[in-house]
Structure 1
Amino acid sequence: MQDTEALLCAALRGDNPAWPVAGDVDFIAGFLERSAYHGVQPLLHHLVKPEQLVAPGWPQAVLAECHRQAITWTMWELRHQALLKQVLALLAGVGVQPVLFKGTALAYSLYPGPALRSRGDTDLIVSLVDRVRVAEALEDLGFLHEAGVSGDFISYQASFTLTEASGSSHSLDLHWRINNSQLLARLFSYEELRARAQALPELSPHAFAASPVDALLLACMHRAGHKQSPYYMDGVAHYSGDRLIWIYDIHLLARKLTQDEWHEFMGLATQKELRAV
């Protein structure tokens, strides 16, 4: 496990590492399992170039699976993008401007191509007063509200999923507060995030994403939160904030911040008592 994680990290750093154990079928299987869990197979396909490796040896099975996942996510992204454009245009038409955050926002603002940032849904936050009409608009487009825990003091989000005839599904997590934790829910309001939000023209003329400073704080909060609340993959609960795609998000955000934004980040982290995360 440790060797697998070390190899993944080296590849994501761009070190062009040699494959350590030629012909070890169990190591190959473990690498594919862990790279899938970490959500980085499309990213590995982009970063690992066989002709640039310091030594040959990366198994064809690994390269082929990463290539297959890159194609799969590209096809998913094309349809997801089309749906998001439709959703955002509809909401703009009724005067609602959601703020995107986490995966999709980062996919379109940080990554060379959005399909490199694998994700299961799109997170967007709206004002409390708009949540009902946004939900109705999504249902009008064919999204189904997934049943979950109800109650204003239990959950501050609702999931909507559109399943197509092909079997492909696309989910939106509609938030009216940033987090379900009572402690964290009020740290960032929609109004605060919208005031600092930046346009996301790569996605849609109606798309806005959390600012880089807010996005970095939210990424740190998200990672810390999954140490207590599980992340589900194939129905299995995982308690960890060390999923590599989340850490890569933080790496790209940190690299993007200017000196002034770093000062703003530290000030905001202090103000909101988030320095520990």
Structure 2
Amino acid sequence: MKNNISNPLHILSSLVRAKSIDEISPFDAKNIDELYSLSINHGVANQINSNLTDFLSKEKKIVENTQQLSSLTQLNIKLTTFAQHSKVISTITDNAAKNFLLALAEAEIKVVVLKGFSLGYQVYKTSYLRPKTDVDILIRNEDKRRISEIFVNLGYSNPRGWEPQAINNQFSMKKMLSKGVSTLFDVHLKISNSKQIENILNYDELLISANSTQLTNINLINKPYALIHAIFHLLHHKSSGDLIKLIWHYDLYLITKQLNETELVQLKELIKSKGLSNLVQYTLTLTANYLPTNELQHLIEWCNTSEITKTYQPQYDYLLGRTLGIKGVWLTLCATEGLSNKVAIIQEMVFPPAEEIYIKYGKDSGWPLVMLYIRRIFTGSIKYIFKKKK
């Protein structure tokens, strides 16, 4: 057994990546509730449950540390209940998502599926092991109207009640499937809402390279592009001061381990041509702190070679710092062309339509609308100050 590691995330990471019980960092029974909650918050509960169920059924007789075995068993009992419920919900929502995606295919509309849904079917043993709150798709601008019509015809509606035009490049559509269960699509017109990188990966290149064999008539972002997109996603949340979930690191871990030679060549060419060596090296180093592998180390070292570092584009360095609050707004405005577009961004950020305010506070809050706007600005400022201090 390894020496005890006090950091709960390191314990979780050992539970996620371990190939046997002997590779799991020991923990005390008093940490079970904390580890259970953390595993859910970090999106790795289902994967850990799958690992432990396998280990405990195969290796129970040869584990010498009975206290460790007892702790693992207790943790897995709690995780099994959660995972069983998660699997049922995932099956229902995935089937609804596939039905919509197949409806698009029947209408000869091609989209690319991104992020968790795509990774669940490509790099995870079973799709439910990769939790997701929504299904992200990238579309052509020209197909937006037709796609919206298909959404409506299949019973979907916009959960926000309005569609931002300036602050992001996406809209959402949601359908209630049963009480407490719904399927939610985030429809992207560009790869990112960040003005600085919104055009770095485009629809055409993602569609051409998409994996169209894993799910019939459904285009999944392929692994090299998925890794780049996952890095941008992780860094965006990190620079915004958000929780960095262990599942995002595990995505990168799995992708790099499963790249074949052709995919690895494509990934390296993407890193060079897009000028991303520093971002990739930085993010994969963070991942390797929790989930070290030879594949990650190879890419990290390759990104650090002089030939590759000279291809890096420094305009992406903003993602390595903080972009929350006023600084983030300023960066967005600087990257936005045209005074009218800048004004539109400020208006949507500070004074969105009443629908957005009512979603947050409810129509029956008892507060006049003007006071709700003031309340929103005030609470947003407080959150910014506290995030900045972290």
- Pick the TM interval, shorter chain: 0.7 to 0.9
1:25-67 Cα shifts (integer Å, max 9, x gaps): xx22211121111111111111112243643122554212211
Tell me what 1:252 maps to: 254
Tell me what 2:227 maps to: 216
Instruction: Give the Cα–Cα distance (whole angstroms) in 1 for the partners of residues 105 and 262 of structure 2.
Output: 32
Alignment of 1:178-189 (within 5 A): 178-189=191-202
Q: Which moved more, 1:141-150 or 1:80-89?
A: 141-150
Indicate yes or no: 2:27 matched with 1:20.
Answer: yes
Instruction: Give the Cα–Cα distance (whole angstroms) in 2 for the partners of residues 35 and 149 of structure 1.
Output: 34
- Tell me the SS of whatever aligns to 1:46: helix
* Among candidates 98, 101, 121, match of residue 134 of structure 2: 121
How many residue pairs match? The answer is 263
Does the C-alpha gap of structure 1 residues 59 and 197 become closer, same or farther in structure 2, counting only changes over 3 Å? closer
Deviation of the 1:134 alpha carbon: 0.8
* Stretches of structure 2 lacking an aligned partner (at least 5 in a row): 280-390
* Among candidates 37, 52, 56, match of residue 50 of structure 1: 56
Letter in 2 for 1:32: Y
- Could you state the TM-score of these two structures normalised by the residue count of structure 1? 0.88
Give 4+ residue runs of structure 1 displaced > 6 Å after superposition: none
Deviation of the 1:121 alpha carbon: 0.9
Q: Which moved more, 1:1-10 or 1:134-143?
A: 1-10
Indicate yes or no: 2:268 matched with 1:262.
Answer: no
- Could you state the TM-score of these two structures normalised by the residue count of structure 2? 0.63
Instruction: Give the Cα–Cα distance (whole angstroms) in 2 for the partners of residues 81 and 141 of structure 1.
Output: 15
Alignment of 1:2-21 (within 5 A): 2-14=6-18, 15-16=20-21, 17=24, 19-21=26-28
More helix by share: 2
- 1:18 and 1:58 in contact (8 A); partners too: no
Letter in 2 for 1:35: S
Alignment of 1:1-277 (within 5 A): 2-14=6-18, 15-16=20-21, 17=24, 19-22=26-29, 24=30, 27-48=31-52, 49-51=55-57, 52=59, 54=63, 55=65, 56-58=69-71, 60-147=73-160, 150-201=163-214, 203=215, 205-229=216-240, 239-241=242-244, 243-277=245-279
Tell me what 1:233 maps to: none
Instruction: Give the Cα–Cα distance (whole angstroms) in 1 for the partners of residues 6 and 198 of structure 2.
Output: 35
Paired-residue identity, %: 24
Instruction: Give the Cα–Cα distance (whole angstroms) in 2 for the partners of residues 110 and 189 of structure 1.
Output: 23
Instruction: Give the Cα–Cα distance (whole angstroms) in 1 for the partners of residues 79 and 173 of structure 2.
Output: 29
Letter in 1 for 2:222: S
Instruction: Give the Cα–Cα distance (whole angstroms) in 1 for the partners of residues 74 and 175 of structure 2.
Output: 33
